[in-house]
Structure 1
Amino acid sequence: MTTGFARLPDAPAYRLTDLCVPACLIEGADVAGDRNGLARVDLTIADGRIEAITPAGAAPGGAQPWFSLDGGMALPRLVDCHTHIDKGHIWPRSPNPDGTFPGALAAVGADREANWSERDVRTRMDFSLRTAFAHGTAALRTHLDSLGAQIGISWPVHAELRAEWAGRIAVQASPLFGADAALDPAHMAAVVAAVRAHGDKLLGCVTYMIPELDRALDILFRAAIENGFDLDFHVDETNDPSARSLEHIADAALRHRFTGRILCGHCCSLGLQAPADEARIIAKVREAGIAVVSLPMCNMYLQDRQPGRTPRWRGVTALHELKAAGVPVMIASDNTRDPFYAYGDLDLVEALREGTRILQLDHSGPDWADAVARTPADTMGLRGAGRIAVGAAADLILTRARDWTELFSRPQADRTVLVSGRAIDRTLPDYRELDHLMASAT
């Protein structure tokens, strides 16, 4: 028996007792949640998998060693469906000069041209994956800047790292370029070839209200259909309510009768539409089968920023309204220590905590933990991830917090992460490891 977090049983079979788990993330067990959506359970673990989930105190007896969480919360390892680990951690050498979206675009573009060699990209991406793994991430989708020569650099690096991290983090990638670039046949051919050779059957771009937007979307949808790709878009990352490319994406999906998965990120301007326009767009999004991910930390950092003026809105999309309409909704990390967001650590516990505050997810239903677990896993085609299920791998995040307010009041830096029932080393990589990349162009 162990009554603290100092040591887990070192045995092929053991029990975790008196866990507090979000009921929305439990599968294969007849347990009920309380008014906060939390269920008290015991888990029986054998050979790295969850053998049984029973109400706390009702687990069968036996010779297995057991470990009490004393009511502490447990989550499955979480799923980060929107990141940018190819540009992560460049802030020390390329900070955003004014904190604005145009400032971020210019700083990243200049840094990419000067510094993004194979060595540079690989080192920073691996650093990011090590960080995410230590925090308890099971799967991660990154967007890869896919312009010109960078296509031939970043995509092979992604394929190598995906293979190296298999079994620890499931890594996916989607190409990132402006919608206008989709109009260039040579560019599209290069991107499709890179995805086919090194990618994960994903295609996408940044959409904005160019005159040729519908033609660009038709090109992307046709390429996705011809190649069996899913789609992932950056959408309307602006406080301009006239930006309605989300509606154009929904129209294109319906026009092409697209049957693959579509994920749209940001969608900030949706939150500034007149009620009738918002309702119309959301209805189309639901009909088209589009899922939406909010990036609350990055959006609050960039949106509505003006020198000397206090921001008037939080920068996030209409996530409550989308969810109420039946649209799958998610929260993710987005950028990490780069010109688009100066902070962050690819920690989805932090993303859920800050998302709860920014988006006011409390007092609005007990199942928002889905947004960093089951829903993104399903959207990424990872059906076994993001849940605590009988027969699934014992991939868990264990904390001392006994309810949501305790979980969100502290960073949970003392959490324990289990992969296949075994505690991992949670030592985070030191930023000093990247110093050699920050001094000058590589």
Structure 2
Amino acid sequence: MDYRALPSGDFTMTNVQVPACLLGQDGDLVTTEISIEEGRIAGPQPIAVDMEGAIALPCFTDMHTHLDKGHIWARSPNPDGTFMGALTTVAADRAANWRAEDVRRRMEFSLRCAYAHGTARIRTHLDSLPPQDDISWPVFSDLRDAWAGRVELQAVCLIGCDAFSTDGAFAHTADLVAAHSGVLGMVTYPVEDLDDRLRGFFAMASDRGLDADFHVDETMDPSSETLRAIARVAMEVGFEGQIVVGHCCSLSTQDETRALDTLDLVAEAGIGVVSLPLCNLYLQDRHAGRTPRGRGITLVHEMVARDIPVAFSSDNTRDPFYAYGDMDMIEVMREATRIGHLDHGKPDWPQAFTQTPARLCGFASGDIHRGAPADLVITRARSWTEFYARPQADRIVLRGGEPIDRTLPDYAELDDLMETT
């Protein structure tokens, strides 16, 4: 049977496998039926197709990306692969090139890739130091409208905590975020008055009814403990919005007792975590001529043991922070499983790429239940070892019960943007 030869219209897929956790059940893969009627999951239909054990997943949620940075590598490569090399290279490229048309075309290229791979929901961070905020946020809103019904979009402002103040430029940025229905974001690293900056940040978010999303401790330096500060200050001020933190790499190098105590605070504060293993593996512990010892991945197993919501996401794509990637969440699943040893852990890790990030962002859940949109990713794989052994390049992506054209955009489309100025 050619598993890609699905009928159009209403039908039932029999003998299809779904992770039990996505059906609210215990166990690993469950053999079941999925019926589609008028683009939604429904009761049994007259036409039935034997899927011969193919694995089906709901379309993905990629909750930590940088669409505005994507695909600048050809004109602005990282000179040494380091974190500092990425920071300085992106800053120079932004100043020279990030006009509205440049940002729009590169963001849309990434959206086309994500859609073809089976992603239905994306949260992107947007570099928002003035004057870039007034350029990128209107572009984002235009794209959000243009992609409605295909990819649901959210955006988070991105500045360093040393640039934060409760008046002046960031107040304007926060108002811009609120006007575009975004999320308030910031990068945290050790600064002398971080607690005061966090209090001001949470107050600005609360005043505007915004959730918060932080880049946190993206370093292997064990002395970087801004995650503790975020959890402590959030509880002190009684912040009621959803808080998400990304990276948290320094936990992997800290004293075990100290790191676990920090996770207890994170759990108490109700904070969600998104791990970005591909980018962190690329940047962290990089030194010329020295083999890296550390992986940079945060303590995901210890987090889920404390009922901390954990998600995995793409992060950067073909830019100085990560030279590779294609907005493909199956690639993220494969690599996260290998890097984080998820394969012999709890069987509910598929939630970390689907339901958990959707819930943390406030998106529709992406569940597979009767009445939900028939937005599915179907692979030829019949077991997890088959699923992870290959990239599933021949997957089917159904949107509203119909297969989409999975043709990926050609990199040559961006060639004219790669002419440096």
Q: Does 1:45 align with 2:36?
A: yes
Deviation, 1:184, is 5.8
Pairing partner for 1:68 from 42, 50, 54: 50
Pairing partner for 1:95 from 77, 90, 100: 77
Pairing partner for 1:107 from 58, 81, 89: 89
Written as runs of structure 1 = structure 2, the 5 A alignment for 1:17-416 is 17-27=14-24, 34=27, 37-52=28-43, 64-183=46-165, 185-200=167-182, 202-385=183-366, 387-416=367-396
C-alpha distance in structure 2 between counterparts of 1:79 and 1:181, whole Å: 30
Alpha-carbon spacing, 1:4–1:33, altered in 2? closer, same or farther (3 Å): farther
Secondary structure of the equivalent of 1:95?
coil
Cα pair 2:55 2:380 within 8 Å, conserved? yes
One-letter code aligned to 1:224? A
Cα pair 1:9 1:66 within 8 Å, conserved? no
Q: Does 1:421 align with 2:401?
A: yes
C-alpha distance in structure 2 between counterparts of 1:289 and 1:170, whole Å: 25
Residue 55 (structure 1) aligns with: none
The RMSD of aligned alpha carbons is: 1.1
Deviation, 1:431, is 0.4
Post-superposition Cα deviations, 1:68-94, rounded to whole Å, max 9, x if no partner, equal 221010000010010000000000000
C-alpha distance in structure 2 between counterparts of 1:376 and 1:41, whole Å: 25
Deviation, 1:278, is 1.1
Cα pair 2:11 2:36 within 8 Å, conserved? yes
Residue 440 (structure 1) aligns with: 420
Aligned residues, how many? 421
Deviation, 1:7, is 2.4
Secondary structure of the equivalent of 2:215?
strand
Post-superposition Cα deviations, 1:393-422, rounded to whole Å, max 9, x if no partner, equal 110000000011100000000000000101
Secondary structure of the equivalent of 2:53?
coil
C-alpha distance in structure 1 between counterparts of 2:200 and 2:120, whole Å: 33
Secondary structure of the equivalent of 2:42?
strand
Post-superposition Cα deviations, 1:225-276, rounded to whole Å, max 9, x if no partner, equal 1111000000000000000000000011101111110000000001111122
C-alpha distance in structure 2 between counterparts of 1:5 and 1:94, whole Å: 42
Cα pair 2:124 2:155 within 8 Å, conserved? yes
Secondary structure of the equivalent of 1:205?
strand
Residue 16 (structure 1) aligns with: 13
Cα pair 2:64 2:122 within 8 Å, conserved? yes
Deviation, 1:199, is 3.4
Identity %: 53
Task: Give unmatched runs, 5+ long, in structure 1.
Answer: 53-59
C-alpha distance in structure 2 between counterparts of 1:188 and 1:113, whole Å: 19
Task: Give unmatched runs, 5+ long, in structure 2.
Answer: none
TM-score for both structures, normalised by structure 1: 0.94
C-alpha distance in structure 2 between counterparts of 1:248 and 1:84, whole Å: 25
Secondary structure of the equivalent of 2:90?
helix
Cα pair 1:384 1:392 within 8 Å, conserved? no
C-alpha distance in structure 2 between counterparts of 1:329 and 1:124, whole Å: 28
Secondary structure of the equivalent of 1:341?
coil
C-alpha distance in structure 2 between counterparts of 1:337 and 1:377, whole Å: 25
One-letter code aligned to 2:19? P
Post-superposition Cα deviations, 1:142-191, rounded to whole Å, max 9, x if no partner, equal 00000111011000000000011111111000000000111262122121
Cα pair 1:75 1:396 within 8 Å, conserved? yes
